[in-house]
Amino acid sequence: MDAEIIRAAQGLKDKTVARRRDFHKYAETAWTEFRTASIVAATLADLGYQVLAGDEVVEAASMMGVPSSAELDRQFQRALEQGAHAVWAEKMRGGKTGVVGVMRFGKPGPTVALRVDMDANDLVEATGEKHRPSREGFASVNQGAMHACGHDGHTATGLGVAEVLAGLRDRLAGTVKLIFQPAEEGVRGAKAMVARGVVDDVKYIVGAHLGIGLKTTGQVACRTEGFLATTKLDAVFAGKPAHAGGAPEQGRNAILAAATATLNLHAISRHSRGVSRINVGVIQGGTGRNVIPAQALIKVETRGATTAINDYVYGEAVRIIEASAAMHGCTVAMQLMGGAAGCENDAALVARIEQVAKRQHLFTEILPAGNIGGSEDCTYFMERVQQKGGQAAFVMIGTELAAGHHDGFFDIDEEALVPGIALLAGVAVELLTKG
């Protein structure tokens, strides 16, 4: 079926580019992807998929870094004004913008999942003739939201794969799950979908990303390495205000507690079994130079080459933060804002993906591996599938870039979209028909 898959993917080129540009123009950030997700849900339903959304695929208690209720309501109304499908969007109230399309085929076989992320970055997009989306009229109209990581292309590719597979449904076996995940930026969204059990029955899961380390169109790496497990944490210190000149002894200085924590967090011992990282990226507090500060905030992230290493760094961080608060007579409240697991690709699944890529002859260079050098939310899905005895892999698809990821001038080469559709659809067909 390789030739048929390729023809189908090529026939979707114009539609896929149009979808990508539409998602780019109406960029939506984490947990506010009401328009994007509702279009995805409606499209999947029209193709014959069983569509699960909202509470069906997102566990509220596991959502991290969610905007305020007022902000979610504001973004919901904006999405409706910009063409969201109202019935589907309503199911996603509260930021539960995950979507899963399920198609069960006539013959018994494995459950295969493909995961796609949908959210944009918190970023102001560049303007002017130098920037193609601006020049050609599809730059983001939503101030402070921009697709600067390629997720617009991922979403459009995922819908292309859905259409290709739907056209082959009479010849496939088992079940396919197309997972459209919100809130990848800040690694916030996958955990809530995993907690809802969306991949508990999955035998194979494949994720993919445009660009990152592969910056030439025509390249592909069927194995991604360098995943770092991570935890994102906000710590709010509460002290006691007092006159800094008249009664300093009556105060409890929250900024000193935050500063003590900051210095000692960066003194956590490195781990002997792999890479470990910690960073305090934000420290805020105080109201005036003559007031003992009653509140302070630090924003922290830990990372590790494995989940176990990250857990070690995170555990030490919590201990230090609590001790620093106690040292200065303050209290502290901590809130998880994001996280991702450490993960390895399964060699057997990688080999099968490589065979599909070689057969299709759509890529000019098949690399042995690509290094992501950071954290990626898909690892929560991958880790759960592996824990249940299944296999997981993450593919990197090359594309020329106008600027680096998370840059206001970011733009992808849309010629990379069709090979991405063909490869992911081909991998799904390979796994569904051969088990």
The domain locations on the chain are: 2-227+342-434, 229-340
- pLDDT, mean of residues 264-291: 96
Same fold, 2-227+342-434 and 229-340: no
Q: b vs e for 327-355, b when ≥16 Cβ sit within 10 Å of the residue's Cβ? A: ebebebebeebbbbbbbbbbeebbebbbe
Q: What is the pTM (predicted TM-score) of this model? A: 0.94
Confidence of residue 32 (pLDDT cuts 50, 70, 90): very high
pLDDT tens across 97-111, in order? 999 999 999 999 999
pLDDT tens across 203-236, in order? 999 999 999 889 999 999 999 999 999 999 999 9
* pLDDT of the residue at 287: 95
Question: What residues have CB less than 8 Å from 54, skipping those under 6 apart?
Answer: 91, 92, 93, 96, 98
The residues with which 221 forms a beta bridge, in sequence order, are 367, 396
**How many residues does this entry show for the chain?**
435
> Which CATH superfamily, name and number, covers 2-227+342-434?
Zn peptidases (3.40.630.10)
Q: Rounded distance, CA 4 to CA 126, Å?
A: 39
pLDDT tens across 78-100, in order? 999 999 999 999 999 999 999 99
* pLDDT of the residue at 373: 84
* pLDDT of the residue at 435: 85
Which pairing describes strands 229-238 and 331-340: parallel, antiparallel, or unpaired?
antiparallel
pLDDT tens across 354-368, in order? 999 999 999 999 999
Q: Rounded distance, CA 372 to CA 384, Å?
A: 20
Among 133, 168, 182, 124, residue whose Cα is nearest residue 17: 133
- What share of the chain in percent tops pLDDT 90? 97
Hey, what CATH topology would domain 229-340 get? Alpha-Beta Plaits (3.30.70)
* pLDDT of the residue at 326: 98
Residue 158, amino acid: G
Strand order in the sheet with 276-285: 276-285, 295-304, 229-238, 331-340
Confidence of residue 1 (pLDDT cuts 50, 70, 90): confident
pLDDT tens across 153-182, in order? 999 999 999 999 999 999 999 999 999 999
Burial class (CB in 10 A: 0-12, 13-18, 19+), 180: buried
250 DSSP assignment = G
Structure tokens at 338: 């994001």
- What are the residue numbers of the active site? 117, 185
User: CA 34 → CA 16, 89, 107, distances in Å?
Assistant: 20, 6, 35
- pLDDT mean across residues, the chain: 97
